[in-house]
Amino acid sequence: MTIAILGAGKIGEALLAGLIYGGFDPADLMFTERYPTRAAQLTEQYGVRGVEVAEAGATADVIIVAVKPQDIDAVLADLRANVTGKTLVVSLCAGLPTALYERNLPDGTPVVRVMPNTPMLVGEAMSAISPGTHATDEHLQIVEDLLLTVGKVVRVPENQQDAVTALSGSGPAYFFFLVEAMIDAGILLGLPRTVAAELIIQSAVGSAKMLRESGEHPVALREAVTSPGGTTIAAIRELEVHGVRAAFLAAIEAAQLRSAELGKAHQ
C-alpha cells in the first residue's frame, strides 16, 4: 500500500515520522511540499520522496490531506483530475467535511475524516475518525490501523468532529499553555527557570500517567492532593475566583465554533 501525505507541515511531518517509526517502508511513502528546500530537507531526513500533488494522486493508494483548510481548494483542483474513485482520501483538516471532498473528487471516492493531534510525534496521538458516504468498514480499518502506529484512535460520527477538534485536536496547546503559565508562576516565586520547568514538566507527566494508569476520576485525584486547611485548597480557591473552569468551557466552545466556521467557508 502506497501512502501520500499532501502538506508535510507540522502534522504532516509528524505523521510521516510516526509511520516510519511504526515500521512503514519509506519507499511506500511520499509527500508533497510547496518549497523545494523544505522538500529536500524532508527527503534527506526521512528517505521519503517529495512529489507533485498530481503524481501523488495518480500513484498512491491512500492520500492523506494535511494542508491548512484555507489551502484545500488548490489541492482539490490538482487532485480531481488525477485520482480514481477508488483512491482512499483521508482528511486531517480541521472543519472540512467529507462532503467537500466527495463533491470535488470522482464519484464514489471513499473519504475518511480524521482529527489527530501533535503528540503523534512521540507515538501518543489521540485521533478520532469518521467515515464519509462511500467509506466502508474496510476503509475505516485501514485508516485506524495507520493511526494506531502513532497513538490511540476512536471512531465518532462526523457531526462530533468539530467538538473533537476543539477538545483533543487543539487540546495539547491548552496543556502547553498551562505548563507555560505554571513555569511563569515559579519565576514569580523566585525559582530559576530551569528548576521551575523541571518541576512542572515532571509534575505534568506524573499527573498524566496517574490519569491514564489509576483509572481514578480526576476529581478523586485532585481531592487526594487537597489537604484540609492546606496549600492546594488556597490555590484552588483562586482558580475558582478567577473563573478558570468557565474560561475553559468558553475557550473550547470557541474552538468548536471556529472549526465549524472553517467548514462553512468551503460549502
Ligand X SMILES: NC(=O)C1=CN([C@@H]2O[C@H](COP(=O)(O)OP(=O)(O)OC[C@H]3O[C@@H](n4cnc5c(N)ncnc54)[C@H](OP(=O)(O)O)[C@@H]3O)[C@@H](O)[C@H]2O)C=CC1
What does the binding site for ligand X look like in residue numbers (CB under 6 A)? 6-12, 32-35, 53, 66-69, 71, 74-75, 92-94, 115-118, 169
Please list the residues that pair with 111 across neighbouring strands.
Answer: 89
Part of the chain binding ligand A1CAB (CB under 6 A), chosen from 44-52, 147-155, 162-170, 181-189: 162-170
Q: What's the CA gap between 63 and 30, in Å, rounded? A: 10
Q: Which one-letter DSSP state was computed for residue 105?
A: S
Tell me which of ligand X, ligand A1CAB, none is bound by residue 143, counting a contact when its beta carbon lies within the kind-specific cut-off of 5 to 8 angstroms: none
Tell me which of ligand X, ligand A1CAB, none is bound by residue 9, counting a contact when its beta carbon lies within the kind-specific cut-off of 5 to 8 angstroms: ligand X
Q: Is 68 annotated as a binding residue?
A: yes
59 and 85 in contact (C-beta within 8 Å)? no
Residue with smaller CB distance to ligand X, 175 or 231 = 175
For position 256 contacting ligand A1CAB by CB under 6 A, the verdict is no
For position 3 contacting ligand A1CAB by CB under 6 A, the verdict is no
C-alpha cell at 96: 472540512
User: H helices of 6-96, where?
Assistant: 10-21, 36-46, 53-59, 72-80
Buried b (16+ CB within 10 A) or exposed e, 48-59: bbbbebebbbbe
Tell me which of ligand A1CAB, ligand X, none is bound by residue 75, counting a contact when its beta carbon lies within the kind-specific cut-off of 5 to 8 angstroms: ligand X
Residue with smaller CB distance to ligand A1CAB, 109 or 170 = 170
Residue with smaller CB distance to ligand A1CAB, 76 or 114 = 114
Phi, psi of 96 (to 5 degrees): -75, 125
Antiparallel, parallel or unpaired: β 125-131 and 111-115: antiparallel
For position 165 contacting ligand A1CAB by CB under 6 A, the verdict is yes
Residue with smaller CB distance to ligand X, 82 or 196 = 82
For position 91 contacting ligand A1CAB by CB under 6 A, the verdict is no
CB of 198 to ligand X, least distance (A): 25
Please list the residues that pair with 130 across neighbouring strands.
Answer: 113
- The residue whose Cβ lies closest to ligand X is 9
C-alpha cell at 207: 499527573
Phi, psi of 157 (to 5 degrees): -65, 150
Buried b (16+ CB within 10 A) or exposed e, 14-31: bbbbbbbeeebeeeebbb
Q: What's the CA gap between 119 and 150, in Å, rounded? A: 9
Residues in the chain, how many?
267
- The residue whose Cβ lies closest to ligand A1CAB is 169
51 and 32 in contact (C-beta within 8 Å)? yes
Selected from 91, 130, 161, 170, the binder of ligand A1CAB by CB under 6 A is: 170
For position 94 contacting ligand A1CAB by CB under 6 A, the verdict is yes
Residues annotated within the binding site for NADP(+) are 66-69
Q: What residue ranges bind ligand A1CAB (CB under 6 A)?
A: 94, 165, 169-170
Residues annotated within the binding site are 66-69
